[in-house]
Amino acid sequence: MPALLALGWLCGGGRLAAQQRPRPAAAKTAAPKASDAQIETAIRAKFAKSKINADRFQVRVQGGVATIEGKTDVLQHKGVATRLAKTGGAVAVNNHIEVSDAARQKAAGNLEQGRRRVQIKRGDARSDPRGTPATSR
């Protein structure tokens, strides 16, 4: 009996073989739960409910993978479109939305303004947009 326990101890890597947890099955590629037409309809409905104009983008679904094409003047629309497609049931998303140069420049300008705001340290004099000198608190 002690020999069996020792053998079980050695084979189990420190635990008895009966106490080992079952190993998870090998990961399989995710298969779509709905048909391509159902996924495409769900994505179009999500676009229609959101602030994104659904008419600007073409959506195709093949094998559960959504492909989105179109143009936009708002940088955030590209990310929102991807999230809406994924929540609409797509297994993966190929986002081919083109963002206009004006939208890219506007985003870069906003980012630069944000960086300047962050660089102001507590106690530093701040400029007042009304033209009056800044006062200490």
What's the one-letter identity of residue 134?
A
Query: Lowest-confidence range among 75-79, 103-107, 114-118?
Result: 114-118
Residue range 96-112: mean pLDDT, rounded: 89
Find the CATH number of the domain harbouring 66: 3.30.1340.30
| Residue among 41, 47, 83, 89 at smallest CA distance from 65 | 89
Strands 65-72 and 92-99: parallel
Q: Does 92 map to a domain? A: yes
Q: Does 104 map to a domain? A: yes
Strand, helix or coil for residue 76: helix
pLDDT at 102 over 60: yes
Residue 98's domain comprises 36-119
pTM for this prediction: 0.58
Could you give the CA distance from residue 38 to residue 47 in angstroms, rounded to a whole number? Answer: 14
Could you give the CA distance from residue 2 to residue 4 in angstroms, rounded to a whole number? Answer: 5
Q: How confident is the model at residue 17 (pLDDT cuts 50, 70, 90)?
A: very low
Q: Does 12 map to a domain? A: no
Q: How confident is the model at residue 129 (pLDDT cuts 50, 70, 90)?
A: low
Residue range 63-73: mean pLDDT, rounded: 94
Rounded to the nearest integer, the mean pLDDT of the chain is 76
Strand, helix or coil for residue 67: strand
Q: Does 85 map to a domain? A: yes
- Contact of 94 with 59, CB cutoff 8 Å: no
| Residue among 96, 91, 31 at smallest CA distance from 57 | 96
Q: Does 101 map to a domain? A: yes
Q: Does 125 map to a domain? A: no
Q: Provide the domain count of the chain.
A: 1
The torsion angles phi and psi of 16, rounded to 5 degrees, stand at -65, 145
Q: Does 17 map to a domain? A: no
Residue range 65-78: mean pLDDT, rounded: 93
Q: Does 65 map to a domain? A: yes
